[in-house]
Amino acid sequence: MTKLLGSQLPRKLFSRSVVSLATSWMVLQSVFVASPSLAKNDSQLPCQKDDKQLCYNQFLEKIEQGTIDKVIIDTRKNTATVTLPNQKTKQVHLWEQQGQLIRQLRDNNIPVDVGTSNNSARQFGIIANVVLIVVLVAGLALIIRRSAKNSGQTMNFSKSRARYHVEAKTGISFDDVAGIDEAKEELQEVVSFLKETERFTAVGAKVPKGMLMVGSPGTGKTLLAKAVAGEAGVPFYSLSGSEFVEMFVGVGASRVRDLFKKAKENAPCLVFIDEIDAVGRKRGAGIGGGNDEREQTLNQLLTELDGFEENTGIIVIAATNRPDVLDPALMRPGRFDRQVRVDLPSYNGRLQILQVHAKDKKLAPEVSLEAVARKTPGLAGADLANLLNEAAILTVRRLKPMITPLDIDDALDRITIGLTLNPLLDSKKKRLIAYHETGHALLMTLLEHSDPLNKVTIIPRSGGVGGFAQQSFDEDMVDSGLYSRAWLIDRITITLGGRAAEMEIFGDAEVTAGAQNDLKVVSNLAREMVTHYGMSDLGPLALESEDHNSEDVFLGGGDMKNRNGYSEEVATKIDEQVRAIAFSCYERARKIIRENRDLMDHIVDILLYEETIEGEDFRKIVSQYTQLPEKQIAMSGKK
């Protein structure tokens, strides 16, 4: 009803505007385009003698005297143009009846011409009236058209907005999906369910009604759903969870019913709901109650998945990045029976994804996709596609015919760190940044349990990044999360290397705020070692819980209360342990930099000149100064 009133209000305002416009137009027309019958007769006006006008009585006298050569009478204006013997013309205002005047002129043998001039005002009035009629008709047609359109939208307001695709429209198979083999194997079974439903029902097996794909953004969940439909050759309905929810209660539930009604008519088929957490969040999770419309939509979805009717041949695949906020009733067997984890790709997976997206790219012969795959741990499939696209854009911008390894490296830095800015001029700031980044890079190379250095640069990036020292992390350890205490201590020491270099080289008065982000990382790592990993003198205790999603889901998993189960005394000890770890690593970093001061100065001179040093070249320089075998330095931190 609110929507109908909202749609009628503009039409009423428009109608009033049309009426006001018509009235104003008529008033203006009556003022500026007055009818001649309402105008005052000019002959009744007082005569003003001048060179262009002639009084009526003077006009009669000249007729009697015969001093007029010719007279032209305009019957519309009631005027006469008089030509005198000296070829001078004057205007005379006449009375209404010109018959007697004409006879008098002819009796005196004066040539007379009677005519009517064009009425431009009357023509303008006709045109104005026609324009007004056209405007009114067009406005009326617009009102009727909008009314018909809104009435049609009102009838379809509760209809499902799912996009329908047939096999030819999807055009995607499992061959187009690379790097997530485990998820593909799980979904191969769904293809079998859709293709050979009778084979499963013959032995009493029930086809699963729902599958939930869980994974980080860009890992290929939507692509997998399209591949399942393409492989099975069945109709494919796709929509987002937010398309169910409206401000009007009951609309979302009606759309769910309409969606499953269409799906039953085209069974067997596949229904894909992206971002299902928009409609499937835990019920009653809000201050003062939840969203009634969203909860009704969720209730209807639960009923359709496992209610009173069997949806034979319909499989629902949903995708989400937040499985922790979904309602438990949605996750139980009989609804979303299975969860398919779509993880970030491994090295082999990244290589396969790069090979798929490199098919339409012109790569130089020296480009190694294997090397690119090793440099990109933690990137999803969408990130890798964006990486090659950014490299192609840089290649075109640099007027090169093919993509080179340098273009790929620059594109990787651009999407992970930021856009490259103009290099700094040779100044104190540039030298300070060089010492800061060299402090990080030197510790990455010298510490035993550190991952090796990839490169160090002092070329600034967008976002306030003056330079960076980049590591090549051990992918297996990062994926498994099995960090050793020695690795964490070295990690904290490396992070404090920039601040330690500033202190040792420039002194306490010249220490800058450039280590702000480094200090945040140090604080978080040291606290996790104490409270989560049990790597402190407080013993093997998990003092802080990572489960912040048990309540207050409306805050996105946030926590309004302090649920830490320890006393203020233990909290003080935690702070002391965190400070002890940070200060110990800081002193260790300062000591290593102090002992290698000559090496630091030499590397900084090279860095100021070249602005970027690759990891292999950096390790060669270090091996020459420290007398350590280059192989030992290069493999520091490796298994």
Domains 163-342 and 347-416 share a fold: no
Which stretches within 196-269 are classed as H helix?
197-201, 221-232, 251-265
Q: Is 312 left (phi over 0), alpha (psi -120 to 50) or beta?
A: beta
Residues 180 and 250 sit within 8 Å (Cβ to Cβ): no
* CATH value of 163-342 in 3.30.230.70, 3.30.450.40, 3.40.50.300, 3.30.420.40: 3.40.50.300
Paired tokens of 194: 């859709």
Instruction: Profile the chain (639 residues) by mean pLDDT over runs of 10 residues.
Output: 42 54 56 43 50 75 77 77 77 71 76 70 75 84 71 48 52 75 79 78 78 85 81 79 67 79 80 84 59 74 70 79 84 81 86 89 92 86 91 92 91 84 78 93 92 89 83 74 88 94 91 89 93 88 62 43 70 92 95 92 92 90 72 47
Please identify, in words, the CATH class of the domain defined by 428-634: mainly alpha
Residue 23 is predicted with a pLDDT of 61
- Provide CB contacts within 8 A for 152, sequence distance 6+: none
Residue 96 is predicted with a pLDDT of 61
Structural domain 37-117, CATH architecture: 2-Layer Sandwich (3.30)
CA-based Rg of the chain, rounded to a whole angstrom? 44
Question: Amino acid letter at 162?
Answer: A
Cα dist from 208 to 314, 322, 339, 468, whole Å: 9, 22, 11, 50
Closest CA to 260 of 303, 318, 196, 293: 303
Neighbour tally for 240: CB within 10 Å: 18
The residue from 275, 437, 502, 504 that is catalytic is 437
Structural domain 347-416, CATH architecture: Orthogonal Bundle (1.10)
Check if 189 is active-site. no
Instruction: Return the domain boundaries, the chain.
Output: 2-32+121-155, 37-117, 163-342, 347-416, 428-634
Residues 188 and 195 sit within 8 Å (Cβ to Cβ): no
Neighbour tally for 24: CB within 10 Å: 10
Neighbour tally for 479: CB within 10 Å: 14
Paired tokens of 143: 């009102």
The burial of 580, by beta-carbon neighbours within 10 Å (0-12 exposed, 13-18 middle, 19 or more buried), is given as middle
Q: Which H or E run contains 73?
A: strand 70-74
Output b/e per residue, 88-125; b: 16+ Cβ within 10 A: eebebbbeeebeebeeebeeeebebeeeeeeeeeeeeb
Cα dist from 174 to 166, 178, 385, whole Å: 17, 8, 17
Question: Amino acid letter at 77?
Answer: K
Residue 44 is predicted with a pLDDT of 46
Residue 521 is predicted with a pLDDT of 93
Place of tokens 């649920």: 563
